Structure formats: structure tokens, C-alpha cells
Structure 1
Amino acid sequence: MYEHWEGLIVQINGGNLSKSITIGNIYRPPRTSNDNLNAFINEFSSMVSLLEHNCKNTLIIAGDFNINLLNLNENDIYSSYFDSLISHSLFPQITFPTRFTRKMVL
């Protein structure tokens, strides 16, 4: 269904939960073209909108997006991705680099 990422989305119900929880695990391969990244952002935003519409519960999305949030001010596409997250009330929880290389990724 989606070309620019792969993942698994599950809904957890029952037990001691007062409402269900939807959890998504996403992997986006580290391709660098702007077209590829824009396509991913569109697909991701569309998927989150669909989940928000169909699953009126807690939504948690985790994964490896291969997008360097340290470069928000240097790249409009990274800013667009971040804006997409915020527009869906999704907030990055990692606040420091996960790898220490010349190309650090947050």
C-alpha cells in the first residue's frame, strides 16, 4: 500500500486498559532524494490521518525514519516532516543524537 516505508500497526484492547491503544512501528530506508522524502511525508501524513479518523484512541508511533531532526533549520523538507508530526499531535521523544558520526541522526 505504501511505497516509501514499511511498518506494522497494531491495536491493543482489553485487560486493565480504559481505552484501546494503537501502536505503529515504521521504518523508512535512508534514501536522500527530496522527491523520495516528500513522498514519504505525504504517505505518512495520510496514514496518520486515516488512523486518527478510524481509531479514536491513544496513538503511539515509533521507528527509524532516517530523518535528521537536528537539521530542521537547514532543510525545508525536514521542517515539513516536523510540521506534519506536530499537526497530528505527534511529538518526537528523542532529544539527542542516536548515532555519533559525521552525519548524526536524531
Structure 2
Amino acid sequence: MYEHWEGLLVQINSGNLSKSITIGNIYIPPRTSNDNLNAFVSEFSSIVLFLEHNCKNTLIIAGDFNINLLKLNGNDIYSSYFYSSISHNLFPQITFPTRITRTKLMVL
């Protein structure tokens, strides 16, 4: 169904919880083209919107997005992903560089 990224969503139900929890894991390969990143942002937003309207449960998303959050101002696709995520109350929890090279710092 989704050709340029991989993901898995699991819903956990428990009699002890007042509502269920959906946990998702997403992987986007490094050096994914801008067209494919745009497709991901659109597809991801549609999936989250569907879950918000139909599941009414807690949503946790983790993964390796390979989107550098330090470049939000210089990249329309990265900022589109970021603002789409926060519009669904999904906030990045990693706020420090996760990849450090001699010439770059990246929060991926």
C-alpha cells in the first residue's frame, strides 16, 4: 500500500485501562526523494486523522523518520511534516542531535 516507507500500528486493549492505546512504528529510508517524502507526509496525516476520528484512543508514534528536525526553516517538506505532526498533538520527544558527524548535527 505504501511504497516509500514502512510502518506498523498495534492496538493494545486491556480491561484495566480506561481506553486502548495504539502504538505505531515508522521507518523512512535515508535519502528518500522529496516527492516520496511529500507522499509520506500526506499519507501519515491521513492515517493519524483516521485514527483520531475512529479510534479515540491514546496514540504513540516512534520510528526512524530520517527527517532532520534541525532543518525545519530551510526545508518545506520537513516543516510540513513537523507542523502536520503537532497539529495532531504528536510532539517530537528527541530534542538533541542523534547523528553527529565532523560537519553536521542532525535530529533524526
Is the structural similarity TM-score above 0.5? yes
- Is 1:75 aligned to 2:45, yes or no? no
Instruction: Give the percent of matched residue pairs that are identical in Structure 1 and Structure 2.
Output: 83
Which residue does the alignment assign to 1:5? 5
Q: Name the TM-score, length of structure 2 as normaliser.
A: 0.89
The one-letter code sitting in structure 2 at the alignment partner of 1:18 is S
How many pairs align?
Answer: 106
Structure 1: distance between partners of 2:104 and 2:54: 38
Asked if 2 retains the 8 angstrom alpha-carbon contact of 1:98 and 1:105, the reply is yes
Deviates more, 1:13-22 or 1:70-79: 13-22
The one-letter code sitting in structure 1 at the alignment partner of 2:55 is C
- Is 1:14 aligned to 2:8, yes or no? no
Which residue does the alignment assign to 1:104? 105
Q: Name the TM-score, length of structure 1 as normaliser.
A: 0.91
Which residue does the alignment assign to 1:56? 56
Counterpart of 1:10 in 2: which secondary structure? strand
Structure 1 stretches of 4+ moved >4 Å: none
